Structure 1
């Protein structure tokens, strides 16, 4: 516990996990941390006194519009308890102007960024109005689909293996354990910055901020792929 305004990160993670990574009332993945008994009265942070609420419900709770009994009821039965995924849409700039940074490499007007065994794992294509549509699939080492992006909407599937999911506008991060990032997606000015640990058919691809690592040895870094039909194509022989 702390007598400062700052809520420790481990406590925030505990509150997010208890809320199934969404607002306990409406399921919005953009969450804030609400003190059931106001902080100015208790002067401390504790898991028993914190719940995850979206900005709207946080404001309404602070104003006293939401009764304490209702907050406790939702806390015991969060909106997302029986849901198997968390999702949220986002918006990209025009396809023709979009720069996608993946594993330190930049892809411009390259629709198929990563293909493994003829399976497209990351693609960006235009619709009829030149709006960019991002699609991606994130598997674990046992080929279980744990997260994906479908036409600019991300889905994180709740599995016991996922340690934490945090989302704020334009920034999604999924951790398998402390410091072990499965996927991080950032959106700035309509451009994409994506890092991830990806697998398919047992083949690992590390998309890191400073390089792309294919398998155990091949490294690609700081390259620009523009107006290519495909970026990286891999065949595992399976």
Structure 2
């Protein structure tokens, strides 16, 4: 019979995520499970002090007595990510099909022969969202920022890393949320091998040029000021990328590549 116990309260789960710096206490991976150091059957309660984040590998190692409680307790006191600006990586596998959504705007049909890089989001000479194709297998590089242009979360050819300075981060199912405080969601996205869907988020550089996604809308910003809106648009089969922006004032030496679905120059 399955053990009958109450769910871990959300405030306690959030405290444990913060204590473990948003990753497995042993290896730092930002894909994790909650584990009781002393078994729940023995303590009969959920407390932050007795909970730890473990990746599936280390959770299984603990459950099958390959990982001691002493090692886990030591790691809880000094988690792997505690001295790092970002977590270690979790690899999202490549796929042969990829759904790409920015709000309800779609990027699709990149390089029909399946070769080369495609840039759904490009700002002042830098790709903030890149789709890589290697012999038809697609992987993603991505930098999602806050309103100041600081990176909250990054993918490097499918390897997910999260800033440890975030207030909160969670990856449940295919959904990722980053919060700046209670109720303040600054990144809401769905991520799997076949999907990158930004429901709420920002791609901004240090001059606050870029894009904000919220309420199904892709908003163009130039030096922090709204300069355009896209709702329900499709960038299909464009040679270089989907959405691009060039601020000639702040980036006078950057050359404009051709082949965007939507491009704005200021």
* Same fold? TM cut 0.5: yes
Partner of 1:198: 203
Q: Indicate conservation of the 8 Å contact 2:123/2:210, yes or no.
A: no
Partner of 1:38: 39
Q: Does 1:117 align with 2:124?
A: yes
Counterpart of 2:13 in 1: which secondary structure?
Answer: helix
Alpha-carbon distance in 1 for matches of 2:109, 2:132: 8
Which ranges of structure 1 fall in alignment gaps of 5 or more residues?
none
* TM alignment of 1:169-184, pairs within 5 A: 170-184=174-188
Partner of 1:234: 245
Alpha-carbon distance in 2 for matches of 1:233, 1:92: 25
Q: Which has the higher contact order (CA 8 A, sep 6+)?
A: 1
Which ranges of structure 2 fall in alignment gaps of 5 or more residues?
111-117, 251-266
Counterpart of 2:72 in 1: which secondary structure?
Answer: helix
Task: Please list the CA deviations of residues 14-66 of structure 1 after superposition, one character each: whole Å capped at 9, or x if unmatched.
Answer: 10111111221233322221222322333321112211122343344345554
Alpha-carbon distance in 1 for matches of 2:68, 2:159: 33
Partner of 2:95: 93
Partner of 1:68: 69
Instruction: Note the aligned Cα RMSD (angstroms).
Output: 2.5
In the superposition, the TM-score normalised over structure 1's length comes to 0.83
Task: Please list the CA deviations of residues 176-232 of structure 1 after superposition, one character each: whole Å capped at 9, or x if unmatched.
Answer: 223333334423561321241221221352223522122336221112221013322
Specify whether residues 131 and 209 from structure 1 end up closer, same or farther in structure 2 by C-alpha distance, changes over 3 A only. Answer: farther
Task: Please list the CA deviations of residues 88-140 of structure 1 after superposition, one character each: whole Å capped at 9, or x if unmatched.
Answer: 1212322xx4321112111113422122223222222322x011232222333
Q: Indicate conservation of the 8 Å contact 1:93/1:191, yes or no.
A: no
Alpha-carbon distance in 2 for matches of 1:114, 1:75: 38
Specify whether residues 176 and 53 from structure 1 end up closer, same or farther in structure 2 by C-alpha distance, changes over 3 A only. Answer: same
